[in-house]
Amino acid sequence: MTTPNGWHHADCALTRNFEFKDFSEAFAFMTRVAFLAEQHGHHPDWSNSWNKVKISLTSHDAGGVVTQRDHDLAALINTITQA
């Protein structure tokens, strides 16, 4: 599996930190990711602090390991940041 740009493996998860201009941009991004994740039935663990969002992806149904589904969702999340 090729790791999508900007993502890295840490603590048995595929993770990435995002930074935005302000809280509104960060929250809008999280909303878009939420709809995308729901469409794909795969939901991130994440946190938000003002303009920063940290996302961790792992496949809980596969025993908490990183799978192709995580890589696929990470690549789709990257398309949101480029929009």
pTM of the predicted protein model = 0.91
Collapsing DSSP to helix, strand or coil, 83 comes out as coil
Q: What is the mean pLDDT of the chain?
A: 93
Q: At what angle do helices 68-81 and 23-40 cross, to 10 degrees?
A: 140
Amino acid, res. 83: A
In this predicted structure, the answer to whether residue 4 has a pLDDT above a threshold of 70 is yes
Total length of the chain: 83
8-81 CATH, one of 3.40.50.300, 3.30.1360.20, 3.40.50.150, 3.90.1150.60: 3.30.1360.20
- Report the C-alpha gap between 36 and 83 in whole angstroms: 14
Report pLDDT digits (tens) over 9-45.
998 899 999 999 999 999 999 999 999 999 999 989 9
- Report the C-alpha gap between 18 and 64 in whole angstroms: 23
